[in-house]
Structure 1
């Protein structure tokens, strides 16, 4: 390779340092929702102070993604209907997508196809969560975790094309080639970004361990496993592109076990994935 691994790590760290932080409003939203005694009224007050974010959240709520019967014009009503966790994740996802919009350094990962892949993983993770019987108020966490799982690939530069080429020629997992030739993989890069944005431990685990689930905290493994399964599904079906040309089939049984799912659950989502991806495109348009 034409570049030194140490230099590559420094470049990535500098890139992350220059990435915009999440807005003060989103930071307050995350802080409020992390408290067990937080009230919907507190969340409403914070988001309402940011007209742009309020508009984005209401646009998402009234999109086909949520398929509500009646139009919602009040943030208070939205929080009451969908719950604090769902509204928090709406605010978080829109803020993060906007923060990284146009930040993708590498021509190796076309932006549109990268986000189609990411949305596909988010949608698939949510469908698998439904199959698992996850309560409705917690399902959006799976979508957001899937949406953000590959965020660590954003800082890679054009040298990433060489990594993709080697992984393809040698038919090796992309994460292994990243470690060998870059000295860092997209999971570790993603953890650095998650730390900058002060994301939750569970969300950080999905970003940092979706290829190494056994390293995740035990309490987070079910969520991480479902995201990893969703990633496997999307790679098998060539939905978008994030560089993984050779899905890691060998891990499937282990992932299903950690996720508490069966093969039939994994295959059953195929009838809904495409439709849900189309609905979820709204997250890229707010």
Structure 2
């Protein structure tokens, strides 16, 4: 390959900064990034920004109603979609949709006639699917990181033009591409991508995952040393694994290719055979929705048809080898299929309200409790119960009752902040986690929620309007002032305060006051 003068990193960064053809995020996406830096911003503020891009609104609505979320009822407005998907997912999806519209504007050298976008979108889908299988808290973060893993290719194509696109087309695989880039330019798309994402002011964990996911030894080391305290190691390992799965699909998804990707999944994430088969099956099932949302055909239909057979062949052979007897293997496979069916039924969200479910809440509560103790910052928990809901349900029917639950959930969620967690605890009970929030601030937030719920008519018949209220209890972990030894003790205190509210007449808020130093 012909050589040319190599540029050092500072020169490349300067070219990225001043390149007029450099991809730029649309204005709405840039505003979302800026708004996301404000932890006190409410959901309505994000909805107002997104509303300026009708195409983006439509895609978010389609996503909320797609198989990605599997809600029992249709989402009919943008604010509902944001509420059901969650703010973090909305931001990540909005940026992902914006990214798909980018090109380097190089005419005949456009990357659209290569497998660049297919590989990027497959990596994004695989990363999200892995995150769901491993029960990570924010799967859409993984989708966004997967889509951005090779964003530096766009930057290099914009900066270097057709010669670079030709180099990209002629590279036999991804590892070779990095070697060719380093040999020819003294710089690769990994560093270019990291600098581009910094230029866009995206969060550190996203741009750091770009270079860490290209370092396989580091990903494996992260797992062995459990160096994932900041989440970046885990995110990077998932994206690296997802990229290997994407390459296997692009190569035709043969049993050999999927087996090679499985070895990577084992090394980076300690994924076992049954988890891997579940990931491949879920990707296959969600492929039509992914192709529709991003308006791309990612895999030839014939390849997609054979993927399930290849994955099942891989799983069966491995299980037979491990068990060393066909009779025992048959029993194991039957148990495995039942386990896979059970896992597919589990989700992080309540299907009626779109809020997080109790299982997710308990894990998030433990995480926020530990963070509050470590950072010596206040942490408040709110327990909410809809007043006289059973009577309302009995009088007007379960269909109306379900609508009331969904609407109350949406009202509470709309007032919540970016950093808060809102979950359905069970029945007509909800729990809100308010990190970095003391008692006074928590009461102010809950009063806004109660006001929003109280002012909403939930049933209109003629001139009559039925309104709903809720009762709430607040308990706060205040380092140095209150003593709660466990997350369970904190949420029990909030529940106790709730029952005091209900005993005193409902429709207001009680703060748990025991344990004060």
TM range (shorter): 0.7 to 0.9
Secondary structure of the corresponding residue to residue 147 of structure 1: helix
1:31 and 2:41 aligned: no
Residue segments in structure 1 that go unaligned for 5+ positions in a row: 241-245
For 1:44 and 1:163, how far apart are their aligned partners in 2?
A: 39
Larger fraction in strand: 2
User: What is the aligned counterpart of 1:280 among 276, 290, 308?
Assistant: 290
For 2:149 and 2:106, how far apart are their aligned partners in 1?
A: 15
For 1:65 and 1:15, how far apart are their aligned partners in 2?
A: 39
Residue segments in structure 2 that go unaligned for 5+ positions in a row: 297-517
For the Cα contact (< 8 Å) 1:142–1:227, is it kept in 2?
yes
Aligned-pair distance for 1:76? 1.1
Question: Counterpart in 2 of 1:175?
Answer: 178
User: What is the aligned counterpart of 2:271 among 247, 252, 261?
Assistant: 261
Secondary structure of the corresponding residue to residue 21 of structure 1: coil
CA deviation map 1:13-43 (0-9, x unaligned): 3785533532343223223334433322222
1:57-136 matches, within 5 Å, as: 57-98=60-101, 100-101=102-103, 103=105, 107=109, 110-111=112-113, 113-135=115-137
Cα root mean square deviation, aligned: 3.7
* Larger relative contact order (Cα-Cα within 8 Å, sequence gap ≥ 6): 1
For the Cα contact (< 8 Å) 2:63–2:293, is it kept in 1?
yes
Aligned-pair distance for 1:55? 3.2
CA deviation map 1:217-271 (0-9, x unaligned): 952010011000010112123269xxxxx99x69956x74553534553354222
For 1:233 and 1:212, how far apart are their aligned partners in 2?
A: 16
Question: Counterpart in 2 of 1:227?
Answer: 239
User: What is the aligned counterpart of 2:249 among 237, 245, 250?
Assistant: 237
For the Cα contact (< 8 Å) 1:222–1:260, is it kept in 2?
no
For 2:13 and 2:36, how far apart are their aligned partners in 1?
A: 34
Question: Counterpart in 1 of 2:16?
Answer: 13
User: What is the aligned counterpart of 1:158 among 162, 166, 170?
Assistant: 162
Aligned-pair distance for 1:194? 0.7
Q: Radius of gyration: which is bigger?
A: 2
1:198 and 2:206 aligned: no
